[in-house]
Amino acid sequence: MSAPILETRSLTKRFGGLTAVDNLSLTLPSGRLHAIIGPNGAGKTTLFNLVSGLLTPSAGRVLFRGKDITGLKPHEISRLGIKRTLQIKSVFNQLSVADNLWITWAASNRVLHPFRAAADDRDARQRVERTLEQTGLTALARRPAGTLSYGDVALLEIGMALISDPQLLLLDEPTCGMSPAETDRAVQKIRDMAKNIDIIIIEHDMPVVFEIADDITVMAQGAVLASGNAEEIAADERVREAYLGRPEDEDYVEEAAHA
Amino acid sequence: MTARNIERALFAAFAAFMLSVPWTIPALLSGFWVNLVAEILIWSLFAASVNLLFGYVGLLSFGQALYFGFGMYGVGIGIDQLGLTFWPAFGLGIVAAMAMALVSGVLAVRLTWHYFAIITVVFSLIFYFLAVSMKWLTGGDDGINFSMPPTFTFGKSIWSFTDQTFQYFFILATVALCFYLMHRVVRSPLGKAFLAIRDNDVRASLIGLNVYLLRLVAFVMAGFLAGVAGALFAFFGRYASATYMFYQVSGEAVVWAIVGGAGMLFGPIIGTSVFILIRELVSTHWEHHALIVGFVAILVVRLAPKGLAGLWADWLENREKPPAEAITVNTLRTEP
Amino acid sequence: MMDTLLLLALNGLIWGLIIALIALGLSIIFGLLDVINIAHGDFFMVGTVVAWFTLEYTGNFWLGFVTAPLFGFILGALIQRTVIQSIRGAAALSIVATFGLSLILQESVRIVFGPTPRRILPPISGTIPLFGIEYDIYRIFAAALSIAALAGFFYFLQYTKVGTWMRAVRHDRDTAIAMGIPAQRVYMLTFAIGFGLAAFGGVVAAPITTVDFRGGVDILPFCFMAVIIGGLGNLPGTAAAAVLLAFMEGVIQSVADPTVARIASLVLMSAVLLLRPQGLFRGFVR
């Protein structure tokens, strides 16, 4: 088997006195959809920030396909093929939907030409049109992204992930705040993408996690609490303990265990 | 008429007017007003450099006067002390402004928003005080006066700024070229990347844009625009002075750009025209014209928060029937 | 040599205290209203001018310590209601609006006061021995008054109802409004107090500077720098930075001419901005 898609070695991030990620060593093999779950403050988003370069680790290394990417800038990491979404939906609000896709594509594929009109690039335009169709946003292509509904913004996020041809996609709570119908659509899209792309997903919605994830890693207090497939996690005592006091999540765990 | 056609017609009318200024204006008013239009063009270009940074990249620079000043001094010192002819002096001014923008930009664009605004003021103040104190080089507050070298010489025929019409067309052509370049940049992939950074710099870095480098590129481009404006202004006034490097000059450009409409190509031209015209129209009758300028600034903020160009764009979007004639009349009325 | 150094350092210190008063107003106006106040230097200038008129018409300089801040307070409240209130939350627009305000203030002063700078004689003259040099009494008095005003301001912020409101709104606007704090009144008071503080700085400084309708122009960047170097939102830091900056400039002036001193302090300031953009004093107070 080839090098794991993502590996962290003793990864640590401290904010003042608080250790958000604590000596975390993970090895995520390629070709599987990974989910990271855990209670609030477990360090999941911090982990994503460390991998994507928004934060620099206090100690430890991050390896992408065996290559050390620790300390690289966000855009450098992005150009290696690691793309991510942010927990709070974040697109370019004043650009049109099509331009959001366009710039995402151009950022990783083209030298930014200073004088030629952006609209003249035919390859780019076709690719944008295809992605619009894939995400069902064609009708909204010219709308400023800031005027979209929440669910459409989430679709746009997924479209931006698609068009950037990622090798590894980090999704931070992609279904957060979605209606059930929107969640179903998003889950379907994520599944499709996972056929060709390695995906790591942070998700609070337990049914979603148990439905789509091949492997689950449970984090608590910056460290790995447990890892395994859905059945193993659902049966794990420590995981139940970590979620105690959050009955709705416990229900999900039980539900999944009986499923 | 579609919105696009209206804008095209307007632009054509505007271009025709600008080309006819040396003949129509003296016939209606006097030669003085030709020079005023030229001056408005130069200051519009200066305000455009603020607009490029603030309107398209989201960086509010309060120090563009520094690059204006370098463009000015490049020309002034080039002609007066180095004995350069027109074109080398012009080139020196632009290169000096861009070099200064590059050097200060390397440091400044590491910061954003308030910090960026403050550091650009601080840089411009440093060089303002340097220019004031280095009298042997800059002439301090009095500045450098120089005699105008010819622009072109073909055998016996000489083209020079001493000819008001030539001066006007040279300035018009240079400013138009700069605006055309900016228009190209704004619509290009690079321009879209600028807009993406203005909107959301964290997201921009996550899709693979080198935010730092792109901001630096924009900063140097803005330095170019300000430098060209400064060089033109030096030729126009036949002098260079440290007073044009003070932070208030930068501040005026910020106001012109925002009042005109930040993020819109023609915004700075509109804002600059309004303020300079008020100044000129009122100052002949009443010395306290600044009072009116102040009230206009506040009024625009209250009535047209997106700037005058924004008001126009909104109107264009909301209009139901296209009253084409009314529009042409409108634009003509804004001209002197 | 030593004497000059001491004299200039003391002068710098006192200017620093006055600037601290002005910069605090700038900082609270920015912190609570999101207004980048380009006219703030002119608020100071208005203070010097009111002091001049007070002396001119009453013959009593001391009255200026009441009239100037009062005038500033009332004018500030009026300006907030008429101009500032409608642009809440749009920092870029606030620049344009306060630029307009700055022009209006300067031009109005030029109309009623005239374009020529004038001087006010200190109400108390004479010198006292201080650290081995003879030092101007009024400046000592100005320092004491500034310190008292600074202390009063921090007391007001910490221990009065309105002060607590102001801190609450600055800390978390939405929660404060949800808890029933009258935000509109707090905004108005903040702007009024900011103007009042700057005008008070103006009276204090009037006898040691010139009264001029452009008197605020040089002060303004200095105040902004104090706010930024002290750390946005860090009021004690702002005051400390103002004093430190002016003191340092005073010290440098003893070995170089004022322009070089100004350049040196600006260079230092850029270094601080680039190396510690969160301000010099982060970690002390929030």
CB contact, 8 Å: B202 with chain A? yes
pLDDT at C286: 33
Q: Which whole number is the average pLDDT over B156-169?
A: 87
pLDDT, residue A63, reads: 92
Scanning every residue of chain C, which has its alpha carbon at the shortest distance from the alpha carbon of B262? C92
* Percent of chain B scoring above 90 in pLDDT: 51
B294 touches chain C (CB under 8 A): yes
- Summarised one tens digit per residue, pLDDT across range B202-261 is 999 999 999 999 999 999 999 999 999 999 999 999 999 999 998 889 988 998 999 999
Mean pLDDT: which of B142-151, C5-14, C143-152 is highest? C143-152
Q: Judge contact between B40 and B271, C-beta under 8 A.
A: no
pLDDT for B233 equals: 96
What does the pLDDT read at residue B328? Answer: 39
pLDDT value at A111 more than 80: no
What percentage of chain B has pLDDT greater than the value 70? 94
Q: Note whether C41 and C24 are within 8 A (CB).
A: no
Write down the pLDDT at residue A250. Answer: 47
- How much is the average pLDDT of A21-27? 88
In contact, B120 and B213? CB cutoff 8 Å: no
pLDDT at position B331, please? 34
- Inter-residue long-range contacts of B324-332, CB under 8 Å, 24+ positions, other chains counted: B324/B1, B324/B6, B324/B9, B327/B6, B327/B9, B327/B10, B328/B9, B328/B10, B328/B13, B331/B10, B331/B13, B331/B14, B332/B13, B332/B17
Mean pLDDT score across all residues of chain A: 83
- B140 and C CB contact within 8 Å: no
Average pLDDT over residues C136-152: 91
pLDDT-derived band of residue B322, with 50, 70 and 90 as boundaries? very low
* pLDDT higher than 60, residue B326: no
Bridge partners, C136 (sequence order): C127
Examine the predicted complex and report whether its ipTM is higher than 0.95: no
Write the residue in C92, C99, C266 that is nearest to B125 by C-beta. Answer: C266
- The answer to whether B134 contacts chain C (CB < 8 Å) is no
Contact B119 C95 (CB under 8 A): no
pLDDT for the residue numbered C91: 78
* A78 vs B: CB within 8 A: yes
Window 66-95 of C, Cβ < 8 Å to B: 83, 86-87, 90, 92-93, 95
CA distances from B122 to A220, B134, B254 (A): 47, 18, 16
For the record, the structure tokens of C233 come out as 């939102």
Q: Which of B130-144, B231-245, C202-216 has the lowest mean pLDDT?
A: B130-144
What's the whole-model pTM score?
0.86
Residue B300: CB atoms within 10 A of its CB come to: 25
Tens of pLDDT, residues C65-79: 999 999 999 999 999
Contact B193 A106 (CB under 8 A): yes
Percent of chain A whose predicted confidence (pLDDT) is above 90: 19
Q: At which residue do the structure tokens 């004639």 appear?
A: B325
Reported as a single tens digit per residue, the pLDDT across B75-104 is 999 999 898 999 999 999 999 999 999 999
Q: CA torsion angle for C88, C89, C94, C95 (degrees, to 10)?
A: 170
> What pLDDT does A259 receive?
44
Tens digits of residue pLDDT in C75-106: 999 999 998 888 877 777 888 889 899 999 99
Instruction: Return the residue of C nearest to B61 by Cα.
Output: C92
Return d(Cα B201, Cα B58) in angstroms, integer. 10
